[in-house]
Structure 1
């Protein structure tokens, strides 16, 4: 049976369309609006469709505390068709995360924590012996399509007395495996001026809008640090990674003022900040960037085509007849939203982005 999203807006077209999915879950047609009949139909008047949202930084192992959650609770139930677990598991438990995909409706990819322990502890890089090169390479070999990068959390509470050595070891592992690094920046030590010079093209800095005054990417005048500009010149990417403690409206305005744009917008979501805030959902995080004055097209690209390109899976970031339907249905309403950043600052958005549905693997999920 065909499934039809009727009279829906696309960001790259001036006219609305009917999106027709066939019985095999492929896009059969992008037809003129309100011309297709038959099959199961949803009236999408006033709503947008994009390729399925990709959240490049989540924590999706429910048994891990505090950084864990159910896959579909942070995936299709919030309009996100692809999540990338960002280092919940190292080599010791990555097989468990890979196996959990069988029961999930959301597509799951992973960044392998360079510590074999992953987030079984929150100081997983404090002992260098936990960075096991052979175990990591074997895990990557077992899951070549699942593991898409490496994760190193370079905060003082994580590394203990290890200094920069965990990142140096991660750099070597990246070069051996051919996988990029995602590096978490947080509280000192080490400082961002030490971390960024070790990053290369396609590596990702997550939490780039954090408000930690002793370790952010902007100086006391709000100007970008030279080390940040040098990293961008080398092709280092910037990811939001909102999280509980890593997004500041003030710093986001500094970045926008200087034209320091995000490559990807992600949540760093887990059960605690989903239920209690300040994250709640990818929709809520996207709304913050609408409030900051970014164009809708740029915001949605940061959760579709841009992360899809970084993943080397451009098909996840487009809508094309004949390809599997991987779609998010969302609205932009004039309803106000009260938004909270990680520093406790409240702002009210005049417009709100809200996911309304997701379509993946031939199934539709209402939000």
Structure 2
């Protein structure tokens, strides 16, 4: 950041209006409620009038596919990151041991903060049945990757649906569980069409593991035909298993989400499972679009933003990413809530007409201000 930056008259999700001064080194030097006292700045300070905008700590998308070399599950890091107001993205197992180093290098060249789950299959998403051969699971290669990229990898990823595991059933998940225990790393587990049965998958998850796609509308999901949560889901929540949305092209259903809210299922992390096709053609488009769906569902703005800030940051063990505090490096998202009708579409093709939507306006990250 070439000079200091003042964000003037921005609102917190609590409704309080604040002024935030960021110095030329990208550090928050002053953070004051509007009117509490005058913030000191000089004539070289760039001032952004944030009237009618909210500010939060930088949004975190816990499930993306950011390895642009892969198709269909790939995209450019900044196209699904800072250009959409998202300051930190977590790649959800695009790469296994074979190419995780390439993904890390791409992250270093981007403006967006990038972290990753390591696919337990060494070939990653170079093909979409990466767990159909147990020969592609190599514990020593996983160990080597975790040692070499310790600050980059946040957990292990296993995609447990029929099209991925083939005839192997639960075998890849048993292998993932063993590696998780051996290396003290949590699992993110994708659920989808069975077999394996979702109850058998969830029973193997432990505290701090993540089940992603928990609001999908497939028959092999976590709710019965009447929308009541399965006992296996309730038991997993009690064990400390985390719930992640992972919207994607096939994994978010309005009816399932409504059932979850009706039965008091706690909101975990809201993520997109975004990649090039569902960003350009929908139904995902952006993290803001996914958050708008939860606004439509009746969650408060505070609940929604916590799901992509403090809650995600706490899971990552990086609480500084989920706060706004003097002395911290600026990591912020600016957004507005627009009172205009918008048509929202889920992964089943069902559309809902919403009266409000969340729109990103900018981000401050890695000493840069990016306007959306």
The interval holding the TM-score normalised by the smaller chain is over 0.9
Aligned length: 365
Instruction: Give yes or no for the alignment of 1:159 onto 2:165.
Output: yes
SS at match of 2:269: coil
Residue matched to 1:263? 268
1:280 to 273, 276, 285: 285
SS at match of 2:188: strand
Instruction: Give yes or no for the alignment of 1:296 onto 2:301.
Output: yes
Cα displacement string for residues 79-126 of structure 1 (whole angstroms, at most 9, x for unaligned residues) = 000000000000000000011122100000000000000000100000
Name the CA distance, whole Å, in 1 between partners of 2:272 and 2:342.
17
Name the CA distance, whole Å, in 2 between partners of 1:32 and 1:293.
28
Name the CA distance, whole Å, in 2 between partners of 1:87 and 1:297.
29
Residue matched to 1:247? 252
Name the CA distance, whole Å, in 2 between partners of 1:350 and 1:92.
46
Residue matched to 2:8? 6
Name the CA distance, whole Å, in 2 between partners of 1:102 and 1:165.
35
SS at match of 2:167: coil
Name the CA distance, whole Å, in 2 between partners of 1:105 and 1:98.
13
Deviation at residue 336 of structure 1 after TM alignment: 1.5
| CA-based RMSD | 0.9
Structure 1 gap segments, 5+ residues each = none
Name the CA distance, whole Å, in 2 between partners of 1:272 and 1:297.
30
TM-score of the pair, normalised by structure 1: 0.98
Deviation at residue 262 of structure 1 after TM alignment: 2.2
TM-score of the pair, normalised by structure 2: 0.97
Residue matched to 2:19? 18
Residue matched to 2:201? 195
1:99 to 105, 112, 124: 105
Deviation at residue 226 of structure 1 after TM alignment: 0.7
Deviation above 3 Å: which 4+ runs of structure 1? 34-38
Residue matched to 1:27? 28
Deviation at residue 273 of structure 1 after TM alignment: 0.1
Structure 2 gap segments, 5+ residues each = none
Name the CA distance, whole Å, in 2 between partners of 1:59 and 1:286.
18
Name the CA distance, whole Å, in 1 between partners of 2:123 and 2:205.
23
Residue matched to 1:223? 228
Q: Where do residues 334-349 of structure 1 align in structure 2 (5 Å cutoff)?
A: 334-349=339-354
Name the CA distance, whole Å, in 2 between partners of 1:83 and 1:188.
28
Deviation at residue 32 of structure 1 after TM alignment: 4.1
SS at match of 1:303: coil
